[in-house]
Amino acid sequence: MPVISYIQAVTQALREEMQRDKDVFVLGEDVGVRGGVFRATDGLYEEFGEARVIDTPLAESAIAGVGIGAAMYGKRPVAEMQFADFIMPAVNQIISEAAKIRYRSNNDFYCPITIRAPYGGGVHGALYHSQSVEAIFASVPGLKIVMPSTPYDVKGLLKAAIRDDDPVLFFEHKRAYRLIKGEVPEEDYTLPIGKADVKREGEDITVITYGLSVHFALQAAEKLEKDGISAHILDLRTVYPLDKDAIIEAASKTGKVLLITEDNKEGSIMSEVAAIISEHCLFDLDAPIKRLAGPDVPAMPYSPPMEKYFMINPDKVEKAMRELAEF
């Protein structure tokens, strides 16, 4: 099986879906001739032409809104926000429009748009090129939010997102783009949106996380294994709506739960995960539910030591996992 990078998996999924369905098209800033500032749409302009790989004016609300209109007509647009941080002007279109179109029209209309955006820190991107924005959208019924961790998951989930009949926000960790490589089948496959994935079976502690932190947790688990600590790792993959059954099962399995997000702690995805566990798993819990997250400051600073201080990293994850195991 070929080994490709996380971002190559994005490109591969886009290319295959555009080949498969003529209603799929891409729009966003710099997605055309340049192939995206991260090169996610590399080669698509050459293959599919400017009518289906559209360089838009620099206006995020229009990127979302025009995409939504095309989706209501019957297209399957894939809109790119250059950075998740810049999705804010499009929030009204996403929350007031895309999320509610099916519901408000009593199922008469639906909105099969996929909105892709690179998120996450650790790339010296400072306040406005590092944020995790999923929590803003994670209380909006009607939306689905997918945040994959591996190239395999990227391809299967992006294809599923594009084929999904409802709006999907597809957040890609930009640090993972070239850092994370993995085996990806060349053939067509999809993975179910809304299903978490056990990335590692273990007995002593449970780690629930998503995105790049999955890799940090897996690395830490390898080290802890040598000390006889066995970690169970659940990758949420879809952060809204959450896979409650999988969360309950994973938390109940060990009774010691560490929740990791790169986002600011308060009101994060992990706040909701913690609530689900406390609602359902009280009598299986053997330790307080622990969260490892970014601090509650606006976003990560540019200065490398400050960025490092903010950012989740393998050492912080290992330390937190060890403490929980020892509790």
217, two tokens: 């947790």
SS3 state at 52? coil
- Cα 19 from Cα 48, distance rounded (Å): 9
- Is 129 part of the annotated catalytic residue set? yes
Is the CB of 186 or the CB of 201 nearer to other proteins?
201
Catalytic residue among 129, 173, 215, 232: 129
Instruction: Tell me how far the alpha carbon of residue 58 is from its chain's centroid.
Output: 24
Task: Decide: 177 and 117 in contact? Cβ < 8 Å.
Answer: no
Please list every residue from 90 through 109 that binds other proteins, using CB under 8 A.
92-93, 96-97, 100-109
| Rounded least distance, CB 87 to other proteins, Å | 14
Binding of residue 62 to other proteins (CB under 8 A): yes
Burial of 30 (0-12, 13-18, 19+ CB in 10 A): middle
Please list every residue from 163 through 202 that binds other proteins, using CB under 8 A.
164-166, 174-175, 177-179, 198, 201
Is the CB of 159 or the CB of 175 nearer to other proteins?
175
Among residues 144, 155, 159, 215, the one that binds other proteins under rule CB under 8 A? 144
Among residues 89, 267, 301, 314, the one that binds other proteins under rule CB under 8 A? 89
Is the CB of 40 or the CB of 259 nearer to other proteins?
40
Binding of residue 57 to other proteins (CB under 8 A): yes
Which of 141-149, 183-191, 215-223, 266-274 is the region at the interface with other proteins (rule: CB under 8 A)? 141-149
Binding of residue 227 to other proteins (CB under 8 A): no
- Cα 39 from Cα 45, distance rounded (Å): 11
Binding of residue 138 to other proteins (CB under 8 A): no
Task: Decide: 116 and 174 in contact? Cβ < 8 Å.
Answer: no
Please list every residue from 197 through 226 that binds other proteins, using CB under 8 A.
198, 201, 203-204
- Cα 185 from Cα 152, distance rounded (Å): 8
Please list every residue from 6 through 25 that binds other proteins, using CB under 8 A.
7, 25
Is the CB of 19 or the CB of 105 nearer to other proteins?
105
177, two tokens: 């783009």
The DSSP secondary-structure symbol of 283 reads G
241, two tokens: 């709506």
CA-wise closest residue to 174 among 216, 134, 125, 126: 125
Which of 66-74, 146-154, 220-228, 262-270 is the region at the interface with other proteins (rule: CB under 8 A)? 66-74
Binding of residue 304 to other proteins (CB under 8 A): no
Binding of residue 237 to other proteins (CB under 8 A): no
| Rounded least distance, CB 175 to other proteins, Å | 6
277, two tokens: 């566990």
- Cα 320 from Cα 225, distance rounded (Å): 15
205's CB contacts (< 8 A; 6+ apart) are 229, 230, 231, 232, 254, 256, 257, 258, 321, 324, 325
Please list every residue from 245 through 284 that binds other proteins, using CB under 8 A.
245, 249, 254-256, 282-284
> CA end-to-end span of the chain, whole Å?
41
| Rounded least distance, CB 270 to other proteins, Å | 20
Which of 11-19, 59-67, 257-265, 290-298 is the region at the interface with other proteins (rule: CB under 8 A)? 59-67
Catalytic residue positions, numbered: 129
